[in-house]
Structure 1
């Protein structure tokens, strides 16, 4: 079965069939509308051949009344179709967007490391747009148009089989051209979604990094990259427009040929009394009714092709394995003590390039383990593995003796807290950001978190206090202020396992002093992983792991490692001299 058929069947099962009642109402309305559209052309025969020659005013009035009623029925059904199906189509788009966003959020961290956020925005917002044509007026017009064409064809054959067959020859040629054009257009539409996502992704990055762009005077460079992207998009659109233009021009030419032929044939048949003027006019109008939906179908076909291309890309995302669906993750934690053990753990981002090699260590419940080492040594990878953001390729990580790769992630992460080096704050108020992990926290719990992280030390100076809006990513705050909000957020979450990645890196000396106090409170009774460049901040850690080239070079507490006079001693004395 072809890819196209799979998509159409999938679309029917997942989108059309669940809404079959609405679609049936739509189809009923279109049947009524199309039946009403035959009244005017069929009445022409009676008008020209019976009523006018006999000068029958009474029947003329009845005929006009019937035609007006038919036009009114068409108007009402057209309104109801738009009201019912178009509104439902827009609701379906919003539903699909929500489903795609939910699916994306469920994917592993590694997926996000390899995909631009702007590209994902495009896939959530744009790829599902065309689907409205599957449930909206597009599908109904396709079915309604087909019905109209079939009924018209039957009526035309009754009037004049010869003229009908003559008209069908150019229509058949047009149908062949249209089918070939659709085969060309579908991959173009599919590729358009991909290009659009790339361009949107770069644009999102550009706007997010505007300070870096202006700082390096790189506006022109970014403009050229974006211009190149939109030109690529234009080339794609141009290809689809060319295919559409071929269909449109061929339909104009072939229908023109058909119309001219019918004029000649019809005129000749009237002259030899094989056809009346009324029958000829009726034939002409019915031909128009048959041809219009066929031409219209080329346009609807483009819309449906675009919808299916968008569905293909959406389906790719929906078929990806969510974190929760990874095999064997079926153990649900009711409570945890917090004993963490790494046993011969290895991990690589790329094949055959291990970032962590056979790392083994134990972190007893409630203890603090510090990870130190040069940049790129593997500290953050170890923290990412402990936080379940990454899964080891070899070895095991256990929590209270249970293999972390078998634990259902949401049940583990509710006991987890993270404070990252470049901690992400959401646009909104300071209060909203602190309440993020527990929106239903009490005022007392909120105030305790604020005091523990010394957030009130700066919010008291703000006019709006905790309700101060911080801008996108907290741009209106200093690095130290952002870090303290992130720590308050972690305090409020009240985790059993805590990962602090360079939690004091953005702080001035005064802020660092305050933060050290709050971190001492935060780590009490919690299993804590601390990554720090400033070795002065980890002197009280229960154990320090010196990581070099993805391996543990040294292990022990501060005093033991200083006495050893090895790598840690060199790092510590070097920093002390600075």
Structure 2
């Protein structure tokens, strides 16, 4: 079982920590026009919100004592207008910035997904698919607080607090200074808390990705779980993951509750002090009732944004932590970003050659050793041997899913390590033992490599792979929905769809990894005919445990312990009565 604490290797990843400055440059500045409009709107909104406390003094000290009805009507009209401005600007802020933030999230998700698909196969071998889903879908969500209302509210709150502070000083300098002491202490506590919270948020993203990854695996493997009565075991694994998530959330809640409690206590002390000082000043005639009420309201307008900014600060901290993890992915080197891959293959003949090729998944643990063979264009090279001997590794090297640790693989006399992968793989076709089918229809899966193929090309492919042998029995024919990973089809049916897909791709090089292993005898006869057509005039690397399926191969390589133990045609290897002879005669007895 993989521990939730383990995360993907990042040895080759640049360490990155997103700052507000870098986030501003990469996210906010390119959208500066919209952000500027948002700032203008927030300024109008905040100024409008100060009209009520500002005019309260006029109401109590001038309008009411003088019974100025005209002044009262004008004052009400002014306040109502200010409220209308607040309502309109609030709507426009949501319309402009919140929508733009969601658009940015969708853009970032697409960008991260594109980057992930560009990474080498080894990255996916070491990373859970569910964890990647979480990182693509969840980590980027925090940017809504950078480009959306979060950042604007931060700026707007600062503007409101500053203007309120100026007005408070004009009313009473001594009362304002008394307030600033607890406010300053609160600000210091909040900054320390945010520095503590950010790493917690970053770890939370990793834990959440691990839990999501395990859950994805559990749902995908539900048949295995039920077959082995392992529900309780999986429940415990998931419970462990969600408990780790809970412990992480508890830490952040403790820090945020400290901020909230500090604000309640310190700002409460400030309010209590103002009540005493203000009451004293009114009784001594230093302050009017209107001054005191206006001061109290303005104090609320100064303090509320500060408290709000603490919440926004928490959101921005979470956003930056998510962007840290996103940046880690974006900094990984894509397959085609290798500066050595400069050769673009326009056409391909298909001459494949291994020259002293060795490979190791882990340092100093080679799984294939000094492999050398030539597969001329149009020939069929079969790999046979016991499980774990290195056959699939050789096939993976041929498909450029893996890169040799030493030695050279050439295609048409070009070093494959210097060839742009996209230009090579457009000539490549792969049919695996456990072939992956996408949820959708049979037709959509066959058309996957060439969505724009003509109906004639499609029909040729399904005929060649004998797909109609079973689709004709389905009510919806080629439009039959096959379920997730083709769960509604038999193994043989899935395999024929995979072969039809490969035929439609019309590649120059074919990799067949146990392509007939899931077939019954009747299906195998049909597939052997279609494979003969598929491999015609194409360089083919085929792995097969059923040795009867490779008798016509141009060259058979017997792989044992990562080395070529024997090589030759079927007849030559039978005549030599070595390892291949033993395997063939053994299977003949079964």
TM over 0.5: yes
Q: Determine the C-alpha separation between the residues in 2 that align with 1:53 and 1:177.
A: 45
1:230 equivalent to 2:269? Answer no
1:566 equivalent to 2:578? Answer yes
| Residue aligning to 1:141 | 153
Conserved? CA contact 1:7–1:311, under 8 Å = no
Q: Determine the C-alpha separation between the residues in 2 that align with 1:520 and 1:389.
A: 25
Q: Determine the C-alpha separation between the residues in 1 that align with 2:109 and 2:74.
A: 52
Alignment of structure 1 residues 221-300 onto 2, 5 Å: 221-300=233-312
* SS of residue paired to 1:54: coil
1:129, CA displacement in angstroms? Answer: 1.0
Q: Determine the C-alpha separation between the residues in 1 that align with 2:453 and 2:68.
A: 84
Q: Determine the C-alpha separation between the residues in 2 that align with 1:45 and 1:428.
A: 69
Q: Deviations over 1:372-394 (max 9, x none)?
A: 00000000000000001111010
1:4, CA displacement in angstroms? Answer: 9.4
* SS of residue paired to 1:354: strand
Q: Determine the C-alpha separation between the residues in 1 that align with 2:446 and 2:17.
A: 50
1:5, CA displacement in angstroms? Answer: 7.5
1:53, CA displacement in angstroms? Answer: 1.0
Q: Determine the C-alpha separation between the residues in 2 that align with 1:56 and 1:167.
A: 34
Q: Determine the C-alpha separation between the residues in 2 that align with 1:454 and 1:58.
A: 92
| Residue aligning to 1:491 | 503
Alignment of structure 1 residues 296-311 onto 2, 5 Å: 296-311=308-323
User: Any runs of at least 4 consecutive aligned residues in structure 1 with deviations exceeding 6 A, and if so which?
Assistant: none
Structure 2 length normalisation: TM-score?
0.97
1:22 equivalent to 2:34? Answer yes
| Residue aligning to 1:473 | 485
Q: Deviations over 1:355-374 (max 9, x none)?
A: 11111110000000000000
| Residue aligning to 1:372 | 384
Give ranges in structure 1 of 5+ residues lacking alignment.
none
Q: Deviations over 1:421-480 (max 9, x none)?
A: 000000000000000000001111101100110000110111111001100000000000
Conserved? CA contact 1:118–1:203, under 8 Å = yes
1:219, CA displacement in angstroms? Answer: 0.6
| Residue aligning to 1:212 | 224
Q: Determine the C-alpha separation between the residues in 2 that align with 1:99 and 1:445.
A: 33
Task: Indicate which of 63, 75, 81 corresponds to 2:93.
Answer: 81
Conserved? CA contact 2:197–2:255, under 8 Å = yes
* SS of residue paired to 2:453: coil
Q: Determine the C-alpha separation between the residues in 1 that align with 2:282 and 2:472.
A: 95
Q: Determine the C-alpha separation between the residues in 2 that align with 1:329 and 1:9.
A: 35
| Residue aligning to 1:552 | 564
Q: Determine the C-alpha separation between the residues in 1 that align with 2:272 and 2:543.
A: 83
* SS of residue paired to 2:139: coil
Q: Determine the C-alpha separation between the residues in 1 that align with 2:238 and 2:77.
A: 60
Conserved? CA contact 2:359–2:366, under 8 Å = yes
Alignment of structure 1 residues 75-114 onto 2, 5 Å: 75-114=87-126
Q: Determine the C-alpha separation between the residues in 2 that align with 1:204 and 1:4.
A: 28
Alignment of structure 1 residues 90-489 onto 2, 5 Å: 90-489=102-501
Give the alignment's Cα RMSD to 1 decimal: 0.9
Conserved? CA contact 1:438–1:493, under 8 Å = yes
| Residue aligning to 2:3 | none
Q: Determine the C-alpha separation between the residues in 2 that align with 1:286 and 1:7.
A: 33
Q: Deviations over 1:471-513 (max 9, x none)?
A: 0000000000000000000000000000000000000000001
Q: Determine the C-alpha separation between the residues in 2 that align with 1:292 and 1:106.
A: 47
Structure 1 length normalisation: TM-score?
0.99
Q: Determine the C-alpha separation between the residues in 1 that align with 2:474 and 2:84.
A: 65
Conserved? CA contact 2:466–2:527, under 8 Å = yes
Q: Deviations over 1:274-327 (max 9, x none)?
A: 111111111111111110000001100010000000000000000000011012
| Residue aligning to 2:4 | none
Give ranges in structure 2 of 5+ residues lacking alignment.
1-14
Task: Indicate which of 503, 515, 524 corresponds to 2:527.
Answer: 515
* SS of residue paired to 2:360: strand
1:6, CA displacement in angstroms? Answer: 4.5
Sort the Cα spacing of 1:4 and 1:439 in 2 relative to 1 into closer, same or farther, 3 A: closer
Conserved? CA contact 2:442–2:482, under 8 Å = yes
Q: Determine the C-alpha separation between the residues in 2 that align with 1:146 and 1:293.
A: 7
Q: Determine the C-alpha separation between the residues in 2 that align with 1:218 and 1:346.
A: 40
Sort the Cα spacing of 1:4 and 1:302 in 2 relative to 1 into closer, same or farther, 3 A: farther
Task: Indicate which of 548, 555, 567 corresponds to 1:543.
Answer: 555
Conserved? CA contact 1:332–1:408, under 8 Å = yes
Q: Determine the C-alpha separation between the residues in 2 that align with 1:527 and 1:156.
A: 83
Q: Determine the C-alpha separation between the residues in 2 that align with 1:540 and 1:6.
A: 59
Q: Determine the C-alpha separation between the residues in 2 that align with 1:27 and 1:437.
A: 48
* SS of residue paired to 1:347: strand
| Residue aligning to 2:8 | none
Q: Determine the C-alpha separation between the residues in 2 that align with 1:288 and 1:256.
A: 11
| Residue aligning to 2:57 | 45
1:155, CA displacement in angstroms? Answer: 1.1
